[in-house]
């Protein structure tokens, strides 16, 4: 739960409305690209992770909507992508493709009567270069979290958080491929089930979900399971993103019966926040340092839904240190009943591994 007392009204109402609009519009661009993704839409970055025209397009749209909706606000943006590769010789065609995707999405939406040039697109992407830090306001954006899932046709998320004086105060998570109804309801699943979930939370005000296309928001909360044998756990879909030998050893120590639910992206945080599962474990391989945009939005949605998000030492995640999280030893999200046992199993498993 949030450390702050419940406040009367939401102190970030304008920011929340702008962030929801930005994420929903960016998600529309992503959905369009995912439907017809071509090999030529996917590039490889210097760190050999993939990036697509939709990652760039989403970053441009979020930056644009925030600028339009919050014209008098003072903030910086910490976002995953930069324009370096798009400024290289031979990238002109890709840049033109991104520019037309952005302009078509703006035109179809109809909120803004404007058209961006290629230079505008590059500048909007580079608006995300901030280092963030402990003072002032910083939007934290992952324009597509789970790019590998996006390319596969699976789960991904547009993840936007707001850092205010070093603390995440707001998060919006657009998950275009996540059913709106909890997967826990066992309704058999029907083709009429609405797909596309927009999770959001503001500090002290709880967490909610609505349809990505818009619907009445519903308050959400994490599950209340207190016996680990009844719990299920989420982990990364990609084996290279989390140590499965350790997560399975933790599950065994806890007596978890259910097999792991493997899902790409911060959709895992959204699903956990509404009780689809009880535990999220992430243990990156040695040397990997977590970035703030992979956890900011998801973590506040879980904590505002009554859950807890801790690192391997049991500390809260510290988003005030810049573009990276301070710690690289793993992340646990679960409810307050299970956290002590999960943390102990996590620490025991890591000790045994030494």
- Catalytic residue of the set 99, 105, 147, 247: 147
Q: Which stretch binds Mg ion (CB under 5 A): 222-230, 251-259, 286-294, 341-349?
A: 286-294
> What CA–CA distance (Å, rounded) separates 137 from 173?
19
Residue with Cβ nearer ligand PPS (10 or 291): 291
Residue with Cβ nearer ligand PPS (12 or 269): 269
- Is 85 a known ligand-binding residue? no
> What CA–CA distance (Å, rounded) separates 290 from 93?
32
Concerning whether 147 is annotated as a catalytic residue, the answer is yes
Concerning whether 55 is annotated as a catalytic residue, the answer is yes
Quick one: which of 15, 41, 69, 80 contacts Mg ion (CB under 5 A)?
A: 80
Tell me: does residue 313 bind ligand PPS (CB under 6 A). Answer: no
Residues near 15 by beta carbon (within 8 Å), at least 6 away in sequence: 70, 73, 162, 170
Pairing state of beta strands 307-311 and 331-335? antiparallel
CA 236 and chain centroid, separation:
13
Give the SS3 label for residue 265: coil
> What CA–CA distance (Å, rounded) separates 345 from 351?
10
Tell me: does residue 235 bind Mg ion (CB under 5 A). Answer: no
Residues in the chain, total: 354
The entry of ligand PPS, Mg ion, none near residue 148 (CB within 5 to 8 angstroms by kind) is: ligand PPS
Give just the sign of the alpha carbon dihedral 39, 42, 45, 48: negative
Residue with Cβ nearer ligand PPS (145 or 210): 145
Tell me: does residue 284 bind ligand PPS (CB under 6 A). Answer: yes
With beta carbons less than 8 A apart as the criterion, state whether 50 and 43 touch: yes
- Catalytic residue of the set 55, 126, 264, 276: 55
- Is 37 a known ligand-binding residue? no
Give the SS3 label for residue 9: coil
Quick one: which of 96, 165, 238, 353 contacts ligand PPS (CB under 6 A)?
A: 238
Q: Which residues bind Mg ion (CB under 5 A)?
A: 49, 80, 142, 144-145, 147, 294
List residues near ligand PPS by CB under 6 A.
49, 80, 142, 144-149, 236-238, 240-241, 264-265, 284-285, 288, 291, 294
């Amino acid at each position: 739960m949030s450390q702050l007392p419940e406040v009367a009204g939401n102190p970030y109402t304008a920011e929340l409305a702008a962030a929801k609009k930005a994420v929903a519009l960016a998600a529309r661009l992503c959905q369009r690209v995912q439907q017809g993704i071509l090999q030529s839409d996917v590039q490889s970055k210097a760190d050999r992770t993939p990036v697509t025209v939709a990652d760039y397009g989403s970053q441009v749209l979020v930056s644009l909507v925030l600028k339009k909706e919050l014209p008098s606000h003072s903030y910086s943006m910490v976002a995953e992508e930069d324009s370096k590769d798009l400024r290289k010789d031979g990238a002109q065609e890709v840049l033109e493709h991104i520019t037309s995707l952005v302009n078509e999405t703006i035109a179809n939406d109809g909120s803004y009567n404007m058209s961006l040039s290629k230079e505008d697109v590059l500048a909007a992407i580079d608006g995300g270069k901030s280092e963030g830090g402990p003072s002032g306001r910083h939007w934290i954006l992952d324009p597509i979290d789970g790019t590998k899932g996006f390319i596969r046709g699976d789960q991904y998320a547009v993840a936007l958080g707001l850092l205010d004086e070093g603390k995440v105060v707001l998060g919006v998570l657009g998950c275009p491929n996540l059913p709106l109804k909890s997967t826990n309801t066992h309704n058999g699943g029907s083709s009429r089930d609405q797909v596309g979930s927009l999770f959001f939370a503001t500090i002290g005000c709880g967490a909610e979900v609505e349809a990505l296309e818009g619907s009445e928001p519903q308050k959400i909360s994490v599950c209340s399971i207190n016996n680990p044998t009844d719990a299920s756990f989420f982990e990364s879909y990609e084996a290279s993103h989390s140590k499965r030998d350790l997560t399975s050893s933790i599950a065994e120590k806890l007596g978890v019966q259910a097999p792991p639910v493997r899902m790409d992206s911060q959709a895992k945080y959204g699903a956990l926040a509404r009780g689809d599962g009880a535990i999220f474990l992430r243990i990156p391989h040695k040397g990997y340092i977590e970035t703030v945009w992979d956890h900011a939005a998801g973590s506040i949605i879980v904590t505002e839904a009554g859950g807890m998000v801790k690192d391997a030492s049991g500390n809260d995640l510290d988003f005030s240190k810049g573009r990276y999280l301070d710690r690289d030893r793993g992340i646990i999200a679960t409810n307050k009943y299970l956290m002590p046992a999960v943390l102990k199993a996590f620490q025991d498993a890591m000790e045994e591994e030494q």
